[in-house]
Amino acid sequence: MSSLSIMDRLAAGPVLGAEGYVFELERRGYIKAGPFVPEVVLDFPGAVRELHREFLRAGADVMVALTYYAHREKLRDVGREGDLEAMNRQAVRIAREVAREGGALVAGNVCNTWAYDPDEPATRGTVRAMYAEQLGWAVEEGVDFVISETNDYLGEALIALEVIADLGLPAMVTLAPTQPDRTRDGYGYAEACRILAAEGAQVVGLNCDRGPLTMLPLITEIRERVDCAVAVQPVPYRTDAAAPTMETLRAPDGQRAFPIALDSFGCTRFEMSDFALQARALGADYVGICCGAGPHHVRAMAEALGREVPASKYSPSMDLHPMFRADVAAKDAAFLNTWVG
């Protein structure tokens, strides 16, 4: 574990987060879209290690253990309930191993379970048991804090917060802003964050589903309502007023783009570096990125925040490009007009 705690780091300035492991490893052929269960942790641990390392080199301050959807309900769907404990333990071990290479923190990770139903009180116990077993293993393997994320229900987020607090760890609890303005159980996003903060979450905010343009206005409201640290981790997709979430984006032919045809909506690294600056200006303390993230986005965000990171060694130098350099050779300069388009 790292010597500087998450609270120390938040106090010192924005903490840079990097997530979207499930989307990226799906894209690389290691996770099945649909169930999105991180079987890769056991089947191809090297692929997980590599992506952690790429985010670390790009400047991520936190290695988030890939236990997203590694809970009982989801593993049952793919017939791997028997691998539950091994998958959770291994995910934390891999995150720790890579975090140590660069002084990053390790976060345990839980998410919405799909088992919670606010109208069925019995589901509270089911959800609590799922979180308790996942986080119990995470604590034994060694995590610095826990991220509970993509919460659709404030009620479910509060259960995660209780379990994390019982384990004595700092909690970052973020909501998935999939609905126009409130959680599925009817709380405005800022109000839900206020409640989470009042119940003891050290960091509250939003992650996933919305791109920077449609997530930042909600962050402004949240920042006004809470005194604790605020997290913002959008998806790098161009959501807008007409399609405020990645789930609502439609391709020109009208087909739903989510979740595996979003490529043409992707934000450039420049858009994500602009986002990082805007988030910091709004007073966000944990600035990150979610599904769709690539290491190039993370490095651009880190550099926008004024950092030089290991991967900066290979940051762009277009002044060395044969066609863009100042002293472009005469034989190449003759063709510059064809690059104008």
Site of interaction with Zn ion (CB under 5 A) = 208, 290-291
Q: Which is nearer to Zn ion, 131 or 258 (CB)?
A: 258
Q: What one-letter code names the amino acid at 191? A: E
Q: What one-letter code names the amino acid at 223? A: R
The rounded radius of gyration (Å) of the Cα atoms in the chain is: 20
**C-alpha closest to that of 209 among 340, 28, 17, 19:** 19
Tokens (6 digits) for 317: 């130098």
To Zn ion, the closest distance from the beta carbon of 336 in angstroms equals: 41
Q: Which is nearer to Zn ion, 135 or 290 (CB)?
A: 290
Q: What one-letter code names the amino acid at 271? A: E
Q: Which is nearer to Zn ion, 189 or 194 (CB)?
A: 189
Query: ∠ CA 133-119-159 to the nearest 5 degrees?
Result: 30
To Zn ion, the closest distance from the beta carbon of 290 in angstroms equals: 3
To Zn ion, the closest distance from the beta carbon of 97 in angstroms equals: 23
CB atoms within 10 A of CB 194: 19
Q: Which is nearer to Zn ion, 83 or 292 (CB)?
A: 292
Q: Which is nearer to Zn ion, 208 or 219 (CB)?
A: 208
Burial of 319 (0-12, 13-18, 19+ CB in 10 A): exposed
Q: Which is nearer to Zn ion, 30 or 194 (CB)?
A: 30
Tokens (6 digits) for 235: 């998806």
Q: Which is nearer to Zn ion, 68 or 131 (CB)?
A: 68
To Zn ion, the closest distance from the beta carbon of 100 in angstroms equals: 25
Angle between helices 122-141 and 154-166 (to 10 degrees): 40
CB 231 within 8 A of CB 174: yes
CB 189 within 8 A of CB 221: yes
Q: What one-letter code names the amino acid at 110? A: V
Q: Which is nearer to Zn ion, 175 or 290 (CB)?
A: 290
3-class DSSP assignment, residue 53: helix
Tokens (6 digits) for 50: 């590599």
To Zn ion, the closest distance from the beta carbon of 291 in angstroms equals: 3
Give the position of tokens 């913002």: 232
To Zn ion, the closest distance from the beta carbon of 149 in angstroms equals: 8
To Zn ion, the closest distance from the beta carbon of 140 in angstroms equals: 27
Length of the chain counted residue by residue: 341
